[in-house]
Amino acid sequence: MEESEKRQTLRRHKSTSWLSQSLSFQLLCTSIILQDDKTLICIFGFKSLICHSRKGRPVTISYAFTNSLHIIRFKFTRIQTCRQQLMVQANPSSMRPQASPADTVVVITGVSGGLGRALALELAQRGYTVVGCGRNEAKLLELEKILNGGTKHLLKKVDVTSDNSVKEFAETVMETKGAPDIVINFAGIINRNGKIWELSAAEFDAVLDVNVKGVANTMRHFLPLMAKQGLFVNITSGWGRIGAADVAPYCASKWAIEGLTQAVAKEVPQGVAVVALNPGVINTDMLVSCFGPQAALYQSPDTWAPIAADAILNLTAADNGSSLNV
């Protein structure tokens, strides 16, 4: 934050009672950024803020107002715990009927690597039925060996940019597993680092084809299967809410996901939730592509997966249209 920004310290805000209450971020938070191991920055739109911390945990809140955003900086002694609480307590009551994990079918696009693969393994370990797709057959086979031992899970080679392939995939899922309960769109690519004038039209198209049209294809064929209830998660990015140099095509694609999600959320029947979820920053092949060796400084997909699983499984129909963060 700039020194010139209007800043107001809200230490010991109003009463001490808020310190004894639990975290509650049931508000429209546009971005949560982990600045360092003790500082969490939350960026909110013009919405009301409810903010509490646990008793005994020292907290400093600084509040700043920039052009169009309220920026709240929280300092916690144990940031990890706070992040977990933030997700777990975001929705205390589930509106979805509590199906057993074994009866819950989770479709994951981009299951062959990175975050999709890590989450698939986590959910399978918890007993959920995982149906996944990706393009790399060798990686799918390798994952299938780890997952299966039976026919509970299903992995298919599908390129999400092909509307027809996604249609066939949806039909196969419906025939073999029934209507999915949760669909998570991880399939995505990033452009090689470069200014917009250094990237070809084909490179720009490739990112939009996978990250935007691929998600649209998945929505087109899977949402009609979720007639009465279901959760549809479109994986977005911090770069879907702010811009960054050298990744303009990727930013454009993720901003599109935010808009696409909000629009479709207005079209789905009651009981279905379509949300945009920013996974955070995780050391995957994609991160290495843009951060280089610095990517190793970030959390691994294996560390991230249990936290993300809790966050996703805790979402409800009340979250429809939200832009959320892990």
Ligand X SMILES: NC(=O)c1ccc[n+]([C@@H]2O[C@H](COP(=O)([O-])OP(=O)(O)OC[C@H]3O[C@@H](n4cnc5c(N)ncnc54)[C@H](OP(=O)(O)O)[C@@H]3O)[C@@H](O)[C@H]2O)c1
Residue among 63, 128, 250, 298 flagged as catalytic:
250
Among 51, 115, 123, 326, binds ligand X (CB under 6 A): 115
The two structure tokens encoding residue 92: 């205390």
In the complex, the smallest distance separating the C-beta of residue 27 from ligand X, rounded to whole angstroms, is 22
Q: Which residue is nearest to ligand X (CB)?
A: 114
Residue 210 interacts with ligand X (CB under 6 A): yes or no: yes
Residue 132 interacts with ligand X (CB under 6 A): yes or no: no
Contacts 24+ apart (CB under 8 A), 260-266: 260/212, 260/215, 260/216, 260/219, 260/234, 261/234, 261/236, 261/321, 261/323, 262/321, 262/323, 264/219, 264/223, 264/232, 265/320, 265/321, 266/321
Among 104, 284, 323, 325, binds ligand X (CB under 6 A): 284
Active site residue 63: no
Residue 136 interacts with ligand X (CB under 6 A): yes or no: yes
- Choose one: 28-36, 88-96, 98-106, 157-165; the region binding ligand X (CB under 6 A): 157-165
| Spatial distance between the Cα atoms of 194 and 230, rounded to a whole number of angstroms | 38
The two structure tokens encoding residue 309: 């699983």
- Choose one: 52-60, 70-78, 111-119, 168-176; the region binding ligand X (CB under 6 A): 111-119
Among 114, 180, 230, 249, binds ligand X (CB under 6 A): 114
- Name beta bridge partners: 277: 235, 324
What residue spans of 178-247 are helical by DSSP H?
A: 201-208, 214-222
| Spatial distance between the Cα atoms of 85 and 91, rounded to a whole number of angstroms | 11
Residue 116 interacts with ligand X (CB under 6 A): yes or no: yes
- Name beta bridge partners: 185: 109, 234
Which residues are at the interface with ligand X (CB under 6 A)?
A: 109-110, 112-116, 133-136, 139, 158-161, 186-189, 210, 214, 235, 237, 279, 281-282, 284-287
Q: Which residues are the active-site residues? A: 250
